[in-house]
Amino acid sequence: MILDELVLHNVGTFAGRHIITLTPPSPSKPVVLIGGLNGSGKTTILDAIHLVLYGSLAQVSGRRSGSYESYLRNLINHQAPAREGAAVELTFHARREGTEHHYRLRRWWRNTGAAVREDLTVSVDGRHDEALTATWNDQVETFLPRGIAGLFFFDGEQIEALADMDKSREVLGSALAALLGLDLVDRLSTDLSVLRRRHRGQHVPDELRALIDERERAATAARQAEETAKAIAASLRNELEQAEKLQFELTEQYRSAGGELADRRDTAEAAALTHCETLNRAEDELREELAGAAPLLQVAAMLEGLAKQAALETAAMQHRVVADLVATRDEAIIRKLREFEVGRDTLAAIDAYLTADRDEHHEAASIPMITGLQDASAIDYLRESGLPGAARRIRELLERQAESRAELDQAERVLVAMPDPELLAPLRQELDAASAKAIGNRAALKHAEEQLAAARQETSRAQAAHEAAQDKAAHAGLAADDSLRMIEHVDRVRATLSRLRTAAAERHLDRISQLVLEALRHLLRKDQLVTGITINPETCAVELTGLNGRQLSPKELSAGERQLLAVALLWGLARAAGKPLPVVIDTPLGRLDGSHREHLLDRYFPSASHQVILLSTDTEIDEEACDRLARYVGQAYRLEFDPRTNATVVEPGYFWE
């Protein structure tokens, strides 16, 4: 049997759908390593495998007390929508009648308020199998018998219990009974005890009849009180169903009449007011912008001409100043040339050149003065920076204004579409009254169910007292020969069953003890520390033999060695089962020291089964241990718990990958 895929949907801390592929990629990499800090959901994965396989018969850590229905209700992720519920899917393949088949189990449940509805579907080779679905509680025993599931799916607490030799007897006894089929013998012995008690009570001496009659009347009264409490609870449950039905109908009417919209009127009005304020701010900013230089954008072309004219006038003023200066200069040059008696032709040419130059300056200075501006830099600033910036800001403000107006229009349309709360007031009052009645009925039902539970306890006590009186009378004397013979035969059969149980255990315990010893020698670094292991068939106590045949007390072993002994017990029992089943271990290393951890990492995990799923924290299988185990790891995942969303996400790779 190979587990191929586990799907968790809204289970525990796993919000939404999470798929974990478990198939080892090769026989040399059988380990699937799943890491997570405490509270991230490791135990939920182990419980989910138990749950999807065995349903209400699953032995899960989260169901220490309380009903199966309460366990399922609490297992649904608190963030999951009520209509979705939760689901666990497990895909595995196994050989059956010589042929390999692929199976998919899907267990789905949803909290309907009054109860939890659960469904199971089983598919074989991709097709739904109705017959297998209907009989799965029996068929699962052919794949992984529930009695030996604890040998393959276990956690650190189970190892701790087995490591305590005094506490291990009960755990070991249950495992051996399931492994050897002795639980059937135990059930038969219990049934015989019931039969014996029934016959003992048939003939009672007269002096004890009054006591038995009194106890019987008390038991009858308790049963009647229980029936009355049950009837009251049933009546209240019916009233609650009717109240919830009326509440649902009125809720639908209220929703159809627009009640949900009306309930959101305050929010819609606040949104409309916000959009209106945003629009007003945008318009105020737009008006403020238009009060500045922005209106000059309308005469941008005229500003261009004004700038050109101002530039021409500035140049003309400069030419005029130059012309006045060069006139004086030219006269001085001509005088000097005459003093130096320059030739007439040369003097005439120079004079003509200077005259032409002055004429050019006079012509350039003849531009009419229109603007009269001394400095055109202000106009240049407006054209190059001021007005483009104003245009950009106006565009942004206009866009904000348009968006705010559109949002305001939409909010006003929503308000207009909302019905008047006053028109819905009568329907709302009916709905509130129905809700209050449903709440009251729910509280009354809870009280009635508590009374019913108390009545059932009282019935149990009264019946126990009645049976005790019958036992007392039976001890006083058994007059009927038939009953006496029946009791004698029952006692004889029970004694035979006890001997049969002991003989069956003795027949197999030698082989099991040898398998456990081989496993322990494989794990311990002290190969000769334990030379023999014996399991007492009656008490299920584990007896150890050391060197030279000396009896070895478990107290002489270190805490780590006792834990390795517990692992060896589980490993040996699993090998004795003779079934190729996967092994799933939660918090596998416990309080082992470094050297003992190395033995588990090197010798147990790679060899425990053809598929080994380890659920560990980062301190159990740390970075060094991860590197040591890496060559055997075929799949690795990390459970990341986000406290902000209060949910776990499955990520590929272990902590340091």
Residue that is written with structure tokens 């053809």 in the block: 610
pLDDT for residue 214: 82
Arithmetic mean of pLDDT, 56-60: 80
- Tens digits of per-residue pLDDT, 84-143? 899 999 999 998 878 899 999 999 999 887 788 999 999 999 999 998 998 998 888 888
pLDDT for residue 546: 80
| pLDDT greater at residue 281 or residue 534 | 281
Of the pLDDT bands very low, low, confident and very high (cuts 50, 70, 90), residue 210 is: confident
Arithmetic mean of pLDDT, 512-524: 81
pLDDT for residue 33: 93
| pLDDT greater at residue 18 or residue 297 | 18
Residue 481 in this model has a pLDDT that exceeds 60:
no
Of the pLDDT bands very low, low, confident and very high (cuts 50, 70, 90), residue 639 is: very high
Residue 323 in this model has a pLDDT that exceeds 80:
no
Classify residue 126 by its DSSP letter. T
pLDDT for residue 649: 93
pLDDT for residue 9: 95
Q: Quick check: 229 and 457 in contact, CB under 8 A?
A: no
Q: What value, to the nearest 5°, has the Cα angle with vertex 297 and ends 296 and 300?
A: 90
Arithmetic mean of pLDDT, 360-380: 69
Q: Quick check: 565 and 163 in contact, CB under 8 A?
A: yes
pLDDT for residue 377: 67
Residue 56 in this model has a pLDDT that exceeds 60:
yes
pLDDT for residue 376: 64
Distance CA 582, CA 94 (A): 11
Helix (H) / strand (E) element for 42: namely: helix 42-54
Arithmetic mean of pLDDT, 416-430: 74
Distance CA 564, CA 520 (A): 7
pLDDT for residue 109: 92
Residue that is written with structure tokens 């495992």 in the block: 175
Task: State the Rg of the chain over Cα.
Answer: 47
Among 6, 154, 179, 157, which residue's Cα sits nearest to residue 584? 154
pLDDT for residue 19: 95
Of the pLDDT bands very low, low, confident and very high (cuts 50, 70, 90), residue 357 is: confident
270, 280, 284, 325, 406 from 409: Cα distances, Å: 14, 14, 19, 72, 5
Tokens found for residue 258: 């627009």
pLDDT for residue 194: 65
pLDDT for residue 337: 81
Q: Which of 255-259, 445-449, 450-454 has the lowest mean pLDDT?
A: 255-259
pLDDT for residue 625: 86
Q: Quick check: 419 and 263 in contact, CB under 8 A?
A: no
Arithmetic mean of pLDDT, 8-17: 92
Distance CA 17, CA 15 (A): 7
Q: What is the CATH number of domain 2-198+497-652?
A: 3.40.50.300
pLDDT for residue 49: 93
Arithmetic mean of pLDDT, 378-392: 75
Residue 525 in this model has a pLDDT that exceeds 70:
no
| 560 burial level (CB within 10 Å; 0-12, 13-18, 19+) | buried
Residue 557 in this model has a pLDDT that exceeds 90:
no
Of the pLDDT bands very low, low, confident and very high (cuts 50, 70, 90), residue 532 is: confident
Residue 54 in this model has a pLDDT that exceeds 80:
yes
Arithmetic mean of pLDDT, 166-186: 66
Q: Crossing angle for the helix pair 481-523 and 168-180, nearest 10 degrees?
A: 110
Tokens found for residue 370: 């229109």
pLDDT for residue 152: 83
Tokens found for residue 24: 């080892």
In three-state secondary structure terms, 587 is coil
pLDDT for residue 112: 83
Among 558, 516, 465, 411, which residue's Cα sits nearest to residue 222? 465
Distance CA 601, CA 621 (A): 9
Residue 446 in this model has a pLDDT that exceeds 60:
yes
Distance CA 567, CA 562 (A): 9
Residue 52 in this model has a pLDDT that exceeds 90:
yes
Highest-pLDDT range among 123-137, 242-256, 493-507, 557-571: 123-137
Residue 385 in this model has a pLDDT that exceeds 80:
no
Average predicted confidence (pLDDT) for the chain? 80
Of the pLDDT bands very low, low, confident and very high (cuts 50, 70, 90), residue 70 is: confident
Residue that is written with structure tokens 């006269």 in the block: 331
- Tens digits of per-residue pLDDT, 218-244? 888 888 888 888 888 888 887 887 888
pLDDT for residue 544: 82
pLDDT for residue 88: 96
Helix (H) / strand (E) element for 34: namely: strand 31-36
Q: Which of 127-141, 242-256, 372-386, 471-485 has the lowest mean pLDDT?
A: 471-485
Tokens found for residue 290: 């238009």
Q: How far is CA 597 from the centre of its chain?
A: 30
Among 230, 168, 2, which residue's Cα sits nearest to residue 100? 2
Extract the runs of DSSP E, i.e. beta strands, from 86-152: 86-96, 99-111, 116-124, 127-128
Arithmetic mean of pLDDT, 384-411: 84
Distance CA 626, CA 633 (A): 9
Q: Quick check: 58 and 47 in contact, CB under 8 A?
A: yes
Q: Which of 2-16, 154-168, 556-570, 626-640 has the lowest mean pLDDT?
A: 154-168
The conformational region for residue 611 under phi > 0 = left, psi -120 to 50 = alpha, else beta, is beta
In three-state secondary structure terms, 327 is helix
pLDDT for residue 14: 93
Distance CA 35, CA 649 (A): 12
Residue 602 in this model has a pLDDT that exceeds 90:
no
In three-state secondary structure terms, 322 is helix
